[in-house]
Amino acid sequence: PEDVGILGIHMVVPSTFVDQKEYEAFHGVPAGKYTIGLGQDKMGFCTDREDIHSLCMTALNGLVRKMGISYADIGRLDVGTETIVDKSKSVKSVLMKLFEESGNHDVEGLDTTNACYGGTAALFNAISWVESSAWDGRLAVVIAGDIAVYAEGSARPTGGAGAVAMLIGPNAPLVMERGLRASYMAHAYDFYKPNLSSEYPAVDGKLSIQCYLGALDSCYQTYCRKARKLSALTGDSSNDAVGINSFDAMVFHSPYGKLVEKSFARLVLNDFLSTPLERVPEVYPNLEKFAGVKLEETYFDRDVEKGFMSFSKQLFCRKTMPSLLLSNQVGNMYTASLYGGLVSYLISKPVDELGGKRVGFFSYGSGLASTMFSMKLVSGPKLAQLVSQLTYVHDSLARRTKVDPADYTAMMAAKEASYNKAPFLPTASTDSLFPGTFYLNEVDQMYRRTYGQV
């Protein structure tokens, strides 16, 4: 099959949020710390009525309905998540409930977990299946979804929640570029969830930033090297001078917007360091003094950061800012964050400005796993339909219910107390949920969960 990639997308955001300005005041931190310092305006969250199963059911059901397909048309379903409610039973197995009516139980694929990276591993698995000898001609679905919550402290305002369902198949309007994937995987304790009786991660904030930036440098350099090699092999010169200008847009995993802005500048720093010295004054005026800096010594170097952020500001606004809408309005959605970035980009401009564009992606999951890859957007009715079926996201964001930080805090305390408890009856109202949303009815004494739909 040719042009394997994404045929359709459905994005689910929570219907409740905390305003970050109010959250700054509530926490007694200086005004601007979350909104400007982290780049976050609103933080979406789920009440005890939603869990990872219900979020993914809402996403899957929304995708199947909008694409006008049947559950029998799906031959593979991969879920990427780090929101674990069962150490054995997969989220995918729960989603099979939605397939029952169609009678289709011949569906490959399960869950993949490594922090925020699981969605990307799921996507690669689904694409590989379509490209493989095991493919039976049907469609694949990938769901990336998470509920991101942190213990009280500096990480708490970087929470969020969301799920993205993607339909995968051949002749797609969003085509995964072949032979152009660059990964960096290593062992690190930057963010992990070793306490199985808590929903919260253990986080070394500073180390997580250093790991993220180091992985970015490595993936970018490997991507550029592979691209040059590919163009030498194929004679296609479009990859010859790989650098930030080879991408029309660059989408990053976004724990918070400010880190993405810094990461964009870092790609420009990488380009700068691979530029022949004699060309530096012409291409990078006023940055000559940074010639010869070592990447691994600059993760927290304020001068380098400032220099390259201001130099790359306009490029950032053009190539990456449009992909930050959902990050800014919902927060970190872990596995869904990168694909929420793609959705944000797709709904940021008229569709005739999207055709022919090449989009770069940087996926990062602590622990750590990371990959840079790219897609090409193919002009035509399929792209137009994919994008027009996503514009509802603007309405969803606007129709959410704002919750007072004190109420959010009380709700989180109640969630902590009931975590892993059975039997359990959720207490939050279903009134604020968007139509079509699946919600948790109860967890019985055998830990079995049942769901309803608004």
**Rounded least distance, CB 36 to ligand ACO, Å:** 4
Q: Helical H runs in 284-336?
A: 302-311, 313-319, 325-330
Q: Is 187 a catalytic residue?
A: no
H or E stretch at 143 = strand 139-148
Check if the beta carbon of residue 375 is closer than 8 Å to that of residue 177: yes
**Rounded least distance, CB 232 to ligand ACO, Å:** 35
Q: Exactly one of 50, 219, 253, 261 is catalytic; which is it?
A: 253
Choice between 66 and 266, CB closer to ligand ACO: 266
Q: Exactly one of 116, 211, 219, 224 is catalytic; which is it?
A: 116
SS3 content of the chain, % helix, strand, coil (to 5): 45, 20, 35
The full 3-state SS of the chain, as one line of letters, equals CCCCEEEEEEEECCCEEEEHHHHHHHHCCCCCHHHHHCCCCEEEECCCCCCHHHHHHHHHHHHHHHHCCCHHHEEEEEEECCCCCCCCCCHHHHHHHHHHHHCCCCCECCEECECECHHHHHHHHHHHHHHCCCCCCCEEEEEEEEEECCCCCCCHHHCEEEEEEEEEECCCCEEEEEEEEEEEECCCCCEECCCCCCCCCEECHHHHHHHHHHHHHHHHHHHHHHHHHHHHHHCCHHHCCCCHHHCCEEEECCCCHHHHHHHHHHHHHHHHHCCCHHHHHHHCCCCHHHCCCCHHHCCCCHHHHHHHHHHCHHHHHHHCHHHHHHHHHHCCCHHHHHHHHHHHHHCCCCHHHCCCCEEEEEEEECCCEEEEEEEEECCCHHHHHHHHCCCHHHHHHHCCEECCHHHHHHHHHHHHHHCCCCCECCCCCCCCCCCCCEEEEEECCCCCEEEEEC
**Rounded least distance, CB 203 to ligand ACO, Å:** 5
Choice between 212 and 223, CB closer to ligand ACO: 212
Q: Is 10 a catalytic residue?
A: no
Choice between 208 and 323, CB closer to ligand ACO: 208
Tell me phi and psi for residue 10, to 5 degrees. -130, 130
Residue closest to ligand ACO when measured from CB atoms: 37
**Rounded least distance, CB 53 to ligand ACO, Å:** 22
Q: How far is CA 157 from the centre of its chain?
A: 17
**180 closest CA partner among 218, 217, 228, 213:** 228
**Rounded least distance, CB 225 to ligand ACO, Å:** 25
**Rounded least distance, CB 30 to ligand ACO, Å:** 3
**Rounded least distance, CB 338 to ligand ACO, Å:** 10
Choice between 31 and 317, CB closer to ligand ACO: 31
By CB under 6 A, name the binding residues for ligand ACO: 30-33, 36-38, 116, 154-155, 158, 191, 203, 205, 208-209, 212, 255, 258-259, 366
Q: Is 105 a catalytic residue?
A: no
**Rounded least distance, CB 149 to ligand ACO, Å:** 11
Q: Give me the active site residues, please.
A: 82, 116, 253
